[in-house]
A and B are shown apart, each in its own frame.
Chain A
């Protein structure tokens, strides 16, 4: 069990009072809980202890949930190398796990663990107390076998926070379950999203999509010719943001300091060089390259991002939801390079670029692929309803 956890809550499970009473939630050590070590999986944050509860932790505790511990994570939550997210849920130690989704990590971890993974809309959940890397793209996601748990957690944590002014003033969505009428609900299959799949993967994906048709939904093909640009934009804008955001890790007040430096500049360079792992360093170098050497490309990427957001909105004039393939990590469980890591997220990065919600469901049965559903921004509640309805049908409900 301790092979999964980075830190266990030293207090016994307190019986909380509230709608989430009895729910054990695992977190990762980039989510602040006062007094807990939060190293974000990096030596750059070694020995750093959270001073305050993150807003989401505070709200979950008030709703009666018990935070049982934090699980081992990838460096700064980027990619899944070194991450054991999903294991605590799979092993039923926790009923749900919170995990940052900046490229699709939460959804991919869910697919690999065979549970549901949800990335909420950007701006729905407070960032306060989250040690992030790509502020404009990341959102705290939830892994759980139960969509009711995900819904309960979202209901508890979503909404404005006076500690986080970056949340747009858009009100709190209504998270009560609303049954969708399949006859009035159109689901689009993005043709371009399948082009990178192998023939076998395509077969499994089509099998999974047939589940939607069997449930009575109108499934139709939708085209998004610029689909490959989502990952390109993520690589450029995301890495520039990360390079800037990680500038604060200087080994002065926490983290590991490399010995032998003659002045502060050498100290920064040596300590940062020693602290960051190869994957993260490659990502930060890429960001610094675009910021300092190819600024025009960065500006182009920002413009393209705005266009992609608008184009995505238009798709939701044609259909209500999209269904997309998602890697379950089986083909490349341990990517070593930045390129390989990014390739894993080719099917998920779009939602981080646009800020829209996305939900991964485990495969319906053997031979099927995990299913990724996405909706327009702030339709989180409806997307969860869709997922819930499909899981009900799998159980033989109607």
Chain B
């Protein structure tokens, strides 16, 4: 029997707010343990949660960016469970009345066809404390770090529209791009600002039944999500074929053994409305105000790049994936650099150079202004491509302008035909066999001869002029 999987994702995204969700403590979970705490996030008796306006704005932008509809009313509930990471006995989460409903992401499936993956709803909740398990001699101990307790999270719950690991991976990549775009979170699975649980069930292909699902956790990269889903589909398909019942439970992905292992029975406690956090009412005016703060989203931006700058779809998608790259690209074009040149030099030179130096594009010495000045000299034949690459290296280390670097370090292109003709004559005299090859019809000998002249010029010759002069001389002499 052939099986197909029915997959839904629950994605927790930690908002990059300055403070926690219900108090003014800094939202820096990575600081020294228990330094960002107060009576509210320790939930001491008498403390009252005070809902953060910044968290509401960042969560709302995230929802709008994903095309979800902000609800006029949403509210927090108490999700009851008892565990040392949650000393007040319940987590504040929007279980019944979420912040937003609907929305979705368009991906390209394995066969290159567009597929829409829908979002069911998006709600806010607080993070819980972090447990650190250690050994004190031979005694196992558990320490509780409250820095993370009360950090603002949103949870994106999808519809069970996913059928394959590829769908899940593409969705997560696009989600990450879009959330980074609106600036609400770094959305990194590696550092835990995005955490993904996958709900997976299998059914005979072609049927529409919904079978018992299994929740898989503990994947810390997009790749792991794909691997874990693939493994779980295989495991469940086999279980069904051997007549084993699939029961509702949670499994943990073991990235070393590449298997999912059972964890615990799923607790489904009913949530009661929290009486202390006020109901959140969003007016149409406020929602509109948020919408105006929304940047151009990647898909729209890529479409515009194709139309406005004549790029290919692939080039436009590359430039739009990271908002910093897109902004940088447009800054270059705005300074009169041809879009293709800007695209090419960004993709092949500047971005790799920035990565190599472990810098951020938005905060490094080669500003769009300096890079544009360099590319202008290239376009104006003042320097050649070789020189431009070298000047770029200098731009990272020196505060001088590209013009100064070219001038003081002698990168200026040699376009003086007299000087070049002298070099060419020397090369032609020394490379008689190559000249003979060219005359015998071997076109590639021309390239070799250009290279030789270039070398003789110390890399500064204008290759276009060399080619013209060489061609003239070789043809004249024959």
A residues neighboring B (CB under 8 Å) = 32, 38, 40, 45, 48, 50-52, 54, 127-131, 135-136, 162-166, 168, 240-241, 244, 246-248, 250, 252-253, 264-265, 268, 291-292, 295, 298, 302
**A246 to B, closest residue via Cβ:** B89
Shortest C-beta distance, A87 to chain B (Å), equals: 24
Contact B276 A292 (CB under 8 A): no
Inter-chain contact B90/A244, CB cutoff 8 Å: yes
Q: How far is B90's CA from A138's CA once the two chains are assembled, in angstroms? A: 20
Residue of B46, B48, B78, B269 with most chain A CB atoms under a 10 A cut-off? B46
| A51 surroundings in chain B (CB, below 8 A) | 39, 44
Residues of A within 8 A of B39 (CB): 51-52
Q: Assuming the A-B contacts A45-B45, A130-B46, are A166 and B88 also in contact, with contact meaning beta carbons closer than 8 angstroms in the complex?
A: no
Nearest CB of B to A301, in Å:
11
Q: A52-B39, A164-B48, A298-B272 are in contact. Are A248 and B80 (CB under 8 A)?
A: no
Q: Are A40 and B90 in contact (CB under 8 A)?
A: no
Is the pair A244, B277 in contact by a Cβ cutoff of 8 Å? no
A40 in contact with B80 (CB, 8 Å): no
In the assembled complex, the Cα of A120 lies from the Cα of B78 at a distance in Å of: 26
Closest to A237 in B: B272
Of the candidates A128, A241, A246, A253, which one forms a contact with B48 in the assembled complex, judged by CB atoms under 8 Å apart?
A128
A244 with B48: CB separation less than 8 A: no
B46 x A54 contact (CB < 8 A): yes
Report yes or no: A166 in contact with B82, Cβ–Cβ below 8 A: no
Q: Is the interface of A mostly helix, strand, loop or mixed?
A: loop
Which residues of chain B are within 8 angstroms of A241 by Cβ–Cβ distance? 272, 275
Cα separation A252 to B87 with both chains bound (whole Å): 9
Inter-subunit contact A292/B270 (CB<8 Å): yes
CA distance A337 to B87 in the complex (A): 30
Q: Which residues of B contact A240 (CB under 8 A)?
A: 272
What separation, in Å, do the CA atoms of A264 and B85 have in the docked complex?
11
Most central of A32, A48, A166, A253 by chain B CB within 10 Å: A166
Tell whether, in the assembled complex, residue B89 and residue A127 are in contact, meaning their CB atoms are under 8 Å apart: no
Q: Which residues of chain A have C-beta atoms less than 8 A from B284's C-beta?
A: none
Q: What's the nearest-Cβ distance from chain B to residue A130, in Å?
A: 6
List 14 A-B residue pairs with CB atoms under 8 Å apart, sorted by A's residue number.
A48-B45, A51-B39, A51-B44, A128-B46, A135-B275, A163-B50, A165-B48, A165-B50, A166-B276, A247-B82, A247-B89, A252-B84, A253-B44, A265-B82
**Per-position contact with A for B63-107: 1 when CB-CB < 8 Å, else 0?**
000000000000000101010100111100000000000000000
Q: A165-B277, A247-B80, A268-B82 are in contact. Are A291 and B270 (CB under 8 A)?
A: yes
Report the bound CA distance from A163 to B38 in whole Å: 13
Given contacts A166-B275, A252-B84, 14 further A-B contacts (CB under 8 A): A38-B45, A128-B48, A131-B45, A136-B275, A162-B50, A244-B90, A247-B82, A247-B89, A247-B90, A248-B88, A250-B89, A252-B87, A253-B42, A291-B80
Question: Complex: how many Å from CA A241 to CA B106?
Answer: 42
Name which residue of chain B comes closest to A295, CB basis.
B270
> Known contacts being A163-B48, A264-B84, A295-B270, is A248 close to B89, with CB within 8 Å?
yes
Chain B 27-74 residues near chain A, CB threshold 8 A? 39, 42-46, 48-51
- Residue among B78, B275, B276, B277 having the largest count of chain A Cβ atoms under 10 Å: B275
Residues in A with CB closer than 8 Å to B51 are 165
How many Å lie between the Cα of A168 and that of B272 in the bound state? 20
Pick the most buried of A128, A165, A268: most chain B CB atoms within 10 A of its CB: A165
Q: Find chain A residues with CB under 8 A from B90 CB.
A: 244, 247
Q: Check A135–B46 contact: CB distance below 8 A.
A: no
Nearest Cβ on chain A to B10's Cβ, whole angstroms: 22
Which residues of A sit under 8 angstroms from B275, Cβ to Cβ?
Answer: 135-136, 166, 241
How many angstroms from the CA of A136 to the CA of B270 in the assembled complex? Answer: 19
- The reply to whether A244 and B272 form a contact with Cβ atoms under 8 Å apart is yes
A51 to chain B: closest residue by CB:
B39
Interchain CB contact under 8 A, A244 and B278:
no
Interface size on B, residues (CB 8 A): 26
Contacts of A127 in B (CB 8 A): 48, 276
Which residues does chain A contribute within 8 Å of B46, judged by CB atoms? 32, 38, 50, 52, 54, 128-131
Considering the chains assembled together, what is the distance between the CA atoms of A247 and B278 in angstroms? 21
Docked Cα-Cα span, A3 to B338, in Å, equals 89
User: What is the bound-complex CA distance between A342 and B269, given in angstroms?
Assistant: 27
Q: How far is the CA of A32 from the CA of B46 in the complex (A)?
A: 7
Would you give the shortest CB distance from B180 to chain A, in whole angstroms? 31
Complex Cα–Cα for A136 and B87 (A): 21
CB distance from B5 to the nearest CB of A (A): 32
Contact A291 B45 (CB under 8 A): no
- Alpha-carbon separation in the docked complex, A265 to B267 (Å): 15
> Which residues of chain A are near B87, meaning CB under 8 Å?
248, 250, 252-253
Which residue in B50, B84, B272 is a CB contact (below 8 Å) of A291? B272
Q: How far is the CB of B82 from chain A (nearest CB, A)?
A: 6
The reply to whether B45 and A247 form a contact with Cβ atoms under 8 Å apart is: no
Cα distance, A247 to B42, chains bound together (Å) = 14
Select which of A40, A244, A253 is within 8 A of B78 by beta carbon.
Answer: A244
Distance in angstroms between the alpha carbons of A40 and B42 in the assembled complex:
18
Given contacts A165-B51, A166-B277, contact A248 B45 (CB under 8 A): yes
Give the CA-CA distance A264 to B48 in the complex, in Å.
26
Task: Output the least CB separation between A98 and chain B (Å).
Answer: 14
What is the CA–CA distance of A128 and B43 in the complex, to the nearest angstrom? 12
Contact between B270 and A166, CB atoms less than 8 A apart: no
Return the chain B residue nearest A137 by Cβ.
B275
Please report the C-alpha to C-alpha distance between residue A162 and residue B78 in the assembled complex, in whole angstroms.
23
A295 to B268 Cα, complex, angstroms: 13
Chain B residues positioned under 8 Å from A244 (CB to CB): 78, 80, 89-90, 272
Q: Chain B residues near A40 (CB, 8 Å)?
A: 45
With most chain B CB atoms within 10 A of its CB, the pick from A128, A248, A298, A302 is: A248
Residue of B nearest to A250 (CB): B87
CA distance A122 to B78 in the complex (A): 21
**Which residue among B45, B78, B88, B278 has the maximum number of chain A CB atoms within 10 Å of its CB?**
B45
Q: Contact flags (1/0) for B272-285 with A, using CB distance below 8 Å?
A: 11011110000000
Q: Within the assembled complex, what's the spacing in Å between the Cα atoms of A250 and B275?
A: 21
Most chain A beta-carbon contacts within 10 A, residue among B51, B89, B273 = B89
Q: Quote the shortest CB–CB distance from B44 to chain A (angstroms).
A: 7
Q: Nearest Cβ distance between residue A247 and chain B, in whole angstroms?
A: 2
Which of chain A's residues has its CB closest to B49's CB? A165
In the A-B complex, the 9 residue pairs with the closest CB atoms: A247-B89, A136-B275, A135-B275, A248-B88, A131-B45, A129-B46, A295-B270, A32-B46, A166-B276
Q: In angstroms, how far is the closest chain B Cβ from the Cβ of A299?
A: 9
List, in ascending order, chain A residues with CB within 8 A of B84's CB: 252, 264
List of A residues within 8 angstroms of B50 by Cβ: 162-165
Q: How far is the CA of A50 from the CA of B46 in the complex (A)?
A: 9
Distance of A365 from chain B, by nearest CB (Å): 41
How far, in angstroms, from A163 to B43 measured CA to CA in the complex? 14
Give, as a whole number of angstroms, the nearest-CB distance from A90 to chain B. 28
CB distance from A254 to the nearest CB of B (A): 8
A346 to chain B, nearest CB (A): 23
Option from A45, A129, A248, A265 in Cβ contact (under 8 Å) with B43: A248
Nearest chain A residue, comparing its CB with the CB of B270: A295
Check B89–A135 contact: CB distance below 8 A.
no
CA distance A40 to B44 in the complex (A): 13
Which residue of chain A lies nearest to B83 when distances are taken between CB atoms in the complex?
Answer: A264
- How distant is B119 from chain A, measured CB to nearest CB, in Å? 26
Collect the chain B residues with CB atoms within 8 Å of residue A298's CB: 272
List residues of chain A with CB within 8 A of the CB of B44: 51, 253
Smallest Cβ distance from A70 to chain B, in angstroms?
Answer: 14
Docked Cα-Cα span, A51 to B44, in Å, equals 9
Q: What residues of A have a CB within 8 angstroms of the CB of B89 in the complex?
A: 244, 246-248, 250
Q: In whole angstroms, how far apart are the Cα atoms of A154 and B48 in the complex?
A: 21
- In the assembled complex, the Cα of A250 lies from the Cα of B272 at a distance in Å of 20
| Docked pose: A104 CA to B80 CA in angstroms | 28
